[in-house]
Amino acid sequence: MARIILHADMNAFFASVEQVSNPKLRGKPIVVTGSGHRTIITTASYEARAFGVKTGMTVPEAKKLCPGLMQVIGDNRKYTSACNRIMEIFGRYTPLVEVFSIDEAFMDVTGSCLLFGGGAEIARRIKGDIKREVGLTCSVGVASNKLLAKLASDMQKPDGLTVIEPERISEVMESLPVGELCGIGPSLTKSLSAMGITTCGELGRASASALKTRFGIIGGRLKLMGMGVDESEVSPIGSEEPAKSVGHSMTLGRDTGDKDELAVYVLQLSEMVGRRMRRNNYMGDTVTLTLRYSDFRTFSQSMRFKRPVNDGLDIYLMAMKLFTPFRLAMKVRLAGVSVSGLVSDPMQISLWEDDRKKSSLTAAMDSINDRYGEFTVTWGSLLARHRHKGVIAPAWRPTGVKSVEY
Amino acid sequence: MTTEHLFSIFIHMDLTENITVGAVFSPGEMRPAWFLWRGRRYAVSEVTYAWESREGMARLRHFSVVAGANVYAICYNTHECAWEIRGVEQDWRG
């Protein structure tokens, strides 16, 4: 039985939420940005896109293209709340919902069609529910696999509904540029072009052995992609692979070469990482410190503990072992701390009283912060901590260790 | 003299002040109808958006509301049974 897969893509998600919230922004070219003065554009409204404004531009760059552009400083909690409401709507039609990013999801509705009608009918219902309850539009693609469903949702934006029926797959793929497929980026497109392959039709007919010789193991997969074949399953929420690392990074309020000031950032990041690890019952034995200079050169160094930890202070002390001997060549614009080598559900009880006291203190602090909010009780040196609203990581998910409250 | 403005920008003010709110409750829904802020009463003409967040155990129900010419961000803290104003978007024309 052919599968029926939906891909839903929220249209200019953050900008649309802001336009729904504030009537004065509707129909206007707006961009959503972070709060720092060096921030970049995270989303542009369709009105701004018409001027050539794109995600990743700086605001001055965008204003050159669109002098009437309006800048809105984003509130990530608002967008994660909207995402949760939208996921709840998807869940009414199938339990098989895979959150691909904060504004995209796949659904396998093969088993739901008898209840609600075919794939196109479910897509129409979902679009109607989202418009009515959240006030937003989305583009939905319906096809027999994830690759084609995503391709279909990209074909009509905004507010589209595109179905690729199985009998139309060859026709759709024949002249489609390979770069339109999810997973084939500019570099791969260039390499394929060097082999004389520019369309999916050509990719599907290419020699599997030639593709494997050039690209290794993914060569065979590329040929299947060219044919519109994708056997990958929709991985519902909760069935994701266990986390390999837990980390946070932040662009600093201003570039700095002051190591004392940077140490405060490292402590804040370590506390955030430790808190998220404890909340999700993880410990880890390898700490990685990442620093990005003002010229965007980025360095990472790692160190392994003798035993796994999840206490913010332990993580900080290890990160400082990496940071203290580091000779800064220039000012730093971004710092990051992550812990890998994770083990879940650790049950080790320390033999030493000091360790047990520290664990009790951490548990008490967690309990207070659970009740009254993050950083209600924390180290004195973090009272003046950095509070800028970060950018939502692509790995964000509504539940589990990848769920970050901003 | 022309009535056209040279430019128009939004001024966003972040605030955290307790306010008094009159709200209408219906099954599964709560809609602010008016609020008192700094001694003045503001009639809510439209609730444009509502969303939720958590601060510790407290669940916050946020509303974007239009009152007069401005858009206000207000929220209800379910743990403390208190309303706060969190922001104002004012259209400023030069």
Taking only the tens place, the pLDDT of each residue in B42-57 is 999 999 999 999 888 8
What does the alpha-carbon distance between residue A76 and residue A392 come to, in Å, rounded to a whole number?
Answer: 7
Just give the CATH number of A169-226: 1.10.150.20
**pLDDT for res A394:** 62
Q: Is the pLDDT of residue A31 over 60?
A: yes
Reported confidence tier of residue B11, pLDDT bands at 50, 70, 90: low
Residue range A1-164 forms a domain whose CATH class is: alpha beta
Tokens of B72: 């206000």
Closest-CA distance, B91 to chain A, in angstroms, reads 8
Do the chains contact at B51 and A405, CB–CB below 8 Å? no
In percent, how much of chain A has pLDDT > 70? 92
- Residue showing tokens 């542009």: A44
Q: Is the pLDDT of residue B5 over 60?
A: no
What does the alpha-carbon distance between residue A92 and residue A73 come to, in Å, rounded to a whole number?
Answer: 32
Do the chains contact at A370 and B58, CB–CB below 8 Å? no
Residue range A245-399 forms a domain whose CATH class is: alpha beta
Does B91 contact chain A (CB < 8 Å)?
Answer: yes
**pLDDT for res A390:** 58
Number of C-alpha atoms within 13 angstroms, CB side, residue A34?
21
CA distances from B57 to A33, A75, A389 (A): 29, 20, 21
User: Could you read off the pLDDT of A48-78 as tens digits, one per residue?
Assistant: 999 999 998 988 899 999 999 998 888 888 9
Q: Which residues contact A80 (CB under 8 A, 6 or more apart)?
A: A102, A392, A396, A398, A405, A406
Q: Is the pLDDT of residue A97 over 90?
A: yes
Q: What is the mean pLDDT of residues B62-85?
A: 93
Tokens of A127: 């679009």
Reported confidence tier of residue A372, pLDDT bands at 50, 70, 90: confident
Q: Which of A81-90, A160-169, A322-331, A393-402 shows the lowest per-residue confidence on average (mean pLDDT)?
A: A393-402
Find residue B89's DSSP bridge partners: B12, B71
What does the alpha-carbon distance between residue A234 and residue A145 come to, in Å, rounded to a whole number?
Answer: 9
The rounded mean pLDDT for chain B is 84
User: Could you read off the pLDDT of A261-302 as tens digits, one per residue?
Assistant: 999 999 999 999 999 999 888 999 999 999 999 888 998 999
Residues 31-90 of B with CB under 8 A from A: 46, 48-49, 51-58, 62, 64, 66, 71, 89
Nearest to B38 by CA among B59, B17, B63: B17
Q: Is the pLDDT of residue A136 over 90?
A: yes
**pLDDT for res A265:** 92
User: Could you read off the pLDDT of A193-213 as tens digits, one per residue?
Assistant: 999 999 999 999 999 999 999
Q: Which residues contact B66 (CB under 8 A, 6 or more apart)?
A: A23, B44, B45, B46, B48, B72
Find residue A8's DSSP bridge partners: A105, A140
What does the alpha-carbon distance between residue A46 and residue A53 come to, in Å, rounded to a whole number?
Answer: 9
CB atoms within 10 A of CB A40: 17
Element (H, E) at A240: none
What does the alpha-carbon distance between residue A285 and residue A312 come to, in Å, rounded to a whole number?
Answer: 13
User: Could you read off the pLDDT of A102-114 as tens digits, one per residue?
Assistant: 899 999 999 999 9
Reported confidence tier of residue B31, pLDDT bands at 50, 70, 90: very high
Nearest to A369 by CA among B71, B58, B87, B24: B58
User: Could you read off the pLDDT of B67-77 as tens digits, one per residue?
Assistant: 998 999 999 99
Reported confidence tier of residue A401, pLDDT bands at 50, 70, 90: low
Residues of chain A with CATH 1.10.150.20: 169-226
Residues 75-134 of A with CB under 8 A from B: 77-78, 81-82, 85
Closest-CA distance, A260 to chain B, in angstroms, reads 30
What does the alpha-carbon distance between residue A307 and residue A316 come to, in Å, rounded to a whole number?
Answer: 15
The pTM of the full predicted model, rounded to 2 decimals, is: 0.81
**pLDDT for res B8:** 44
Amino acid at A400: G
Count, in order, helices (H) and strands (E) of chain B: 0, 7
Active site positions of A, annotated: 104
Find residue A336's DSSP bridge partners: A249, A290
Spell out the long-range contacts of A91-98 with Cβ–Cβ below 8 A and sequence spacing 24 or more: A92/A129, A93/A122, A93/A125, A93/A126, A95/A236, A96/A234, A96/A236, A97/A234, A97/A236, A97/A237, A98/A234, A98/A235, A98/A236, A98/A237
Tokens of A166: 């199985």
**pLDDT for res A371:** 85
Q: Is the pLDDT of residue A370 over 90?
A: no
Nearest to A168 by CA among A144, A195, A196: A144
Q: Which residues contact A24 (CB under 8 A, 6 or more apart)?
A: B10, B71, B89, B91
Q: What is the mean pLDDT of residues A160-175?
A: 94
Reported confidence tier of residue A37, pLDDT bands at 50, 70, 90: low
**pLDDT for res A191:** 92
Reported confidence tier of residue A17, pLDDT bands at 50, 70, 90: very high
From A23, A81, A405, residue closest to B48, measured CB to CB: A23
Q: What is the mean pLDDT of residues A309-330?
A: 90
User: Could you read off the pLDDT of A382-394 as tens digits, one per residue?
Assistant: 877 666 555 666 6
Tokens of A217: 């193991």
Nearest chain B alpha carbon to A16: B49
Reported confidence tier of residue B7, pLDDT bands at 50, 70, 90: very low
Does A369 contact chain B (CB < 8 Å)?
Answer: yes
Asked casually if ipTM beats, i.e. exceeds, 0.85, the reply is no
**pLDDT for res A369:** 86
CB of A223 within 8 A of CB of A211?
A: yes
Residues of chain A with CATH 3.30.70.270: 1-164
CB atoms within 10 A of CB A349: 8
The rounded mean pLDDT for chain A is 89
Q: Is the pLDDT of residue A137 over 70?
A: yes
From A17, A22, A376, residue closest to B71, measured CB to CB: A22
Q: Is the pLDDT of residue B94 over 60?
A: no
Residues of chain A with CATH 3.30.1490.100: 245-399
With 0-12 / 13-18 / 19 or more C-beta atoms within 10 angstroms meaning exposed / middle / buried, residue A207 is exposed
- Residue showing tokens 């924390």: A378
**DSSP conformation letters of A326-391:** ---SS-EEEEEEEEEEEEES-----SSHHHHHHHHHHHHHHHHHHHH-TTSS--GGGTT------P
Does A69 contact chain B (CB < 8 Å)?
Answer: no
Helix axis angle, A76-91 relative to A119-134, nearest 10°?
140
Reported confidence tier of residue B3, pLDDT bands at 50, 70, 90: very low
Does A372 contact chain B (CB < 8 Å)?
Answer: yes
DSSP state of A281: T
DSSP state of A324: T
Do the chains contact at A370 and B10, CB–CB below 8 Å? no
Q: Which residue has the higher pLDDT, A380 or A233?
A: A233
